[in-house]
A and B are shown apart, each in its own frame.
Chain A
Amino acid sequence: DAGVIQSPRHEVTEMGQEVTLRCKPISGHNSLFWYRQTMMRGLELLIYFNNNVPIDDSGMPEDRFSAKMPNASFSTLKIQPSEPRDSAVYFCASSWSPAGGETQYFGPGTRLLVL
C-alpha cells in the first residue's frame, strides 16, 4: 500500500489566493483527518470524516477554511482567501475508526507558505 498520499508537498502562494490541498487515504480506511501543525499551537485537528461525512469540524479556524470528501478515496482542504497566518504544515491521516480507537496513519504533509 502506498500509504496516505498528499499533494502538493509544498505550496507557496500570495495572500488572497485560493489554496487547495489534496489527500488520498489508505484504501479501505473509513475515516480521514485533517491536521495543521504550527510552531505556536503544535498539532491541531481541523476536521475529520467518517464514511465521507464530516463528523467534527470544530477545529476549523474560520469560514475561509472548508473541507470536502466527495468519495472514499479523496478529500480536499480549501483555504479561500489565504492569509499569511495560514502558513503551516497540513497533515492528512486515515484510520479504520472515526473516534480514535484505531491507529491513524499520517501522510507526508503539505508545507504551505502564504506570502
Chain B
Amino acid sequence: ILNVEQSPQSLHVQEGDSTNFTCSFPSSNFYALHWYRWETAKSPEALFVMTLNGDEKKKGRISATLNTKEGYSYLYIKGSQPEDSATYLCAFISGNQFYFGTGTSLTVIP
C-alpha cells in the first residue's frame, strides 16, 4: 500500500498571513503530482500538475514546489484571504495508479 501523507491535517491562520503545507510521497516510480483545492460541498478544482523534479508553479498567491528525489511537495499561500479556506489535496501518480492524500484543511480567519 502506497502512502501519501499531508501535513498538517488542519490549519487556522489569520487573514494576511502566509502559510504552507506539505505532501509527502514515495520517492520511487514518480510520474506526476497533482494539487487540488476542494471547498466544502463542491468538487475538487485542479491547482497544479507537477511532473519534473525541481518544478515550481505559481497561480496568483498560490505556489508549489516539487522534490521527487526526497518525495515531497510544498504548497504556499501568500497573504491568505478568507476565500482561500478549503481543503488542499495532493495526489501522487505512479504508473497507472492515483494515490490521494487526506488533505490539509485551511481556515483563514478574517
Residues of A within 8 A of B (CB): 33, 42-45, 55-56, 58, 91, 93, 99-109
Contact = CB atoms under 8 A, between A and B. Distances in A.
Which of A45, A55, A108 is the most central at the interface, judged by chain B CB atoms within 10 Å of its CB? A45
Interface stretch (B11-19, B42-50, B65-73, B76-84): B42-50
Contacts, number: 49
Contact of B102 (A42, A104, A108): A42
Contacts of B100: 42-45
A3 B63 CA distance: 25
A44 B45 CA distance: 16
Contacts of A42: 100, 102-103
A60 to B, nearest CB: 13
Interface of B: 31-32, 34, 42-46, 49, 51, 89, 91, 93, 96-98, 100, 102-103
User: Which secondary structure dominates where chain B touches chain A?
Assistant: strand
Contact of A103 (B31, B49, B98, B102): B49
5 contacts: A42-B103, A43-B44, A100-B32, A104-B34, A106-B46
Given A101-B31, A109-B43, 14 more contacts: A42-B102, A42-B103, A43-B44, A43-B100, A44-B100, A45-B100, A99-B31, A100-B31, A100-B91, A100-B93, A100-B98, A101-B32, A103-B46, A106-B45
Contacts of A100: 31-32, 34, 49, 91, 93, 98
A55 B46 contact: no
B98 A106 contact: no
A105 B46 CA distance: 7
A102 B49 contact: yes
Nearest to A109: B43
Given A42-B100, A99-B93, A106 B31 contact: no
The 3 A-B pairs with the shortest beta carbon distances in the complex, nearest first, are: A100-B93, A106-B43, A103-B46
A43 B87 CA distance: 12
Nearest to B48: A103
